A and B are shown apart, each in its own frame.
Chain A
Amino acid sequence: MIAAFVVAAATGTWPYVAAAWAVVFGGMGIYALVTVLRGRRLSKNVPPEKRRWS
């Protein structure tokens, strides 16, 4: 069954499906990571009273 899935994935529309989902999920993951890291770096330079989130 797994072999059938792999064969199906290598042909037809599955490579396009996989690429589309990889772009969206990968893009969201990278953007989220970059945003969080930028926030951490910037937080070191801002006084605590100016970064009170709730």
Chain B
Amino acid sequence: MTTETAGPLEASDSGPSSTGSRTTMILGIVTLLALGVLVLFGLILSPADENQGDAVRIMYVHVPSATLSYVGCFMTTIGSAVYLWRKSQWWDLVAYASAEVAALFTAFTLVTGMLWGRPTWGVFWVWDARLTSEAMLMLLLLGYLAVRGIAADYQVRAKRAAIVGLLLVPNVFIVRQSVQWWRTLHQKPTLTLAGAHIQGLMLFSLFTGFVAITLVFIWMVIHRFRVAWLEEQVNAEGLDVAIAERRAEGVVS
């Protein structure tokens, strides 16, 4: 994707010089504090689990990463559906930004899950229903991003990606239900509407993980959305310049 088709603007402009704003700066500071609290509770104050030992500490980043990857997929599917319905660029870019951040968090989920599996199950990977469906979700997200990267007109690109984006939520549902539908090595959900299977400081550390990583997710989606917006502005301006040049050539010849 070409992003530098237009020349640099004059230094006298008064707009923000990055994707940051006062809101995201405050959000960023709060996020850093929350990550500090997560490190304190997750790595130091939380006790080791009776069965898993210290490997339970991986759960404080693994479970929130998995949940936020699902949230990103939901946002992508909703953004894609609204784009197909109303042709709104804002929703298309929400879908795009969410998909990229969801892909990052899905990668975290897979890697941290493998690092938890080695000391707990004795292997990094098994072709278990949950692990396989999560890997399929990762491939689908990469597919969405690849489709967006294919050189084409904005509307064509956005429409193709939106169709792929619609498939994400059904896939998330399969991932979520995989431990119920099939016999798997992966444990059943730790947190359910009926209650939690962990207590005390371990539950609080997991809660801290959810808060901190949710804040990171929000910060990333906002910034990624703004980058995508800027990319489209640059692309549109480059296209306008190219059309003007072509028209000028036509007049001359």
A and B bind: yes
Spell out A's residues near B (CB within 8 Å): 12-14, 16-17, 19-21, 23-25, 27-28, 31-32, 35-36, 38-54
Q: Which residue of A lies closest to B3 (CB)?
A: A42
Query: Which residues on the A side are within 8 Å of B119 (C-beta)?
Result: 12-13, 16
**Which B residues, 1 to 39, have Cβ-Cβ distances below 8 Å to chain A?**
3-9, 13-24, 35, 39
B128 interface residue (CB < 8 Å to A): no
Task: Please tell me if the beta carbons of B62 and A20 are within 8 angstroms of each other in the complex.
Answer: yes
Pick from B55, B57, B107, B234: contact of A42, CB below 8 A: B234
Per-position binary interface string of chain B over residues 219-230, scored 1 when its CB falls under 8 Å from any chain A CB and 0 otherwise:
110011011011
Measured CB to CB, the closest approach of chain A to B145, in angstroms, equals 14
Task: Please tell me if the beta carbons of A43 and B55 are within 8 angstroms of each other in the complex.
Answer: no
Complex formed: what's the CA distance from A49 to B23 in Å? 19
Q: A19-B115, A20-B61, A21-B43 are in contact. Are A48 and B230 (CB under 8 A)?
A: no
Q: Which residue of A lies closest to B62 (CB)?
A: A20
Per-position binary interface string of chain B over residues 48-59, scored 1 when its CB falls under 8 Å from any chain A CB and 0 otherwise:
000001110110
Q: Which residue of A lies closest to B15 (CB)?
A: A48
Query: Which residues on the A side are within 8 Å of B18 (C-beta)?
Result: 36, 39-40, 43
Complex formed: what's the CA distance from A52 to B22 in Å? 12
Complex formed: what's the CA distance from A52 to B13 in Å? 12
Measured CB to CB, the closest approach of chain A to B119, in angstroms, equals 4
Q: How would you classify the secondary structure of chain A's contact residues: helix, strand, loop or mixed?
A: helix
Query: Which residues on the B side are within 8 Å of A53 (C-beta)?
Result: 16, 19-21, 23-24, 226
Spell out B's residues near A (CB within 8 Å): 3-9, 13-24, 35, 39, 42-43, 53-55, 57-58, 61-62, 65, 104, 107-108, 111-112, 115-116, 118-119, 216, 219-220, 223-224, 226-227, 229-231, 233-234, 237
Task: Please tell me if the beta carbons of B108 and A36 are within 8 angstroms of each other in the complex.
Answer: no
Q: List 20 contacting pairs A-B, 8 Å CB cutoff, sorted by A.
A: A13-B54, A16-B55, A16-B119, A20-B57, A20-B115, A24-B112, A27-B104, A28-B104, A36-B20, A38-B3, A39-B18, A39-B227, A45-B6, A45-B7, A45-B237, A46-B233, A46-B237, A47-B9, A54-B22, A54-B23
Task: Please tell me if the beta carbons of A14 and B61 are within 8 angstroms of each other in the complex.
Answer: no
Q: A16-B118, A31-B104, A46-B9 are in contact. Are A51 and B230 (CB under 8 A)?
A: yes
Task: Please tell me if the beta carbons of B58 and A43 are within 8 angstroms of each other in the complex.
Answer: no
Complex formed: what's the CA distance from A21 to B39 in Å? 9
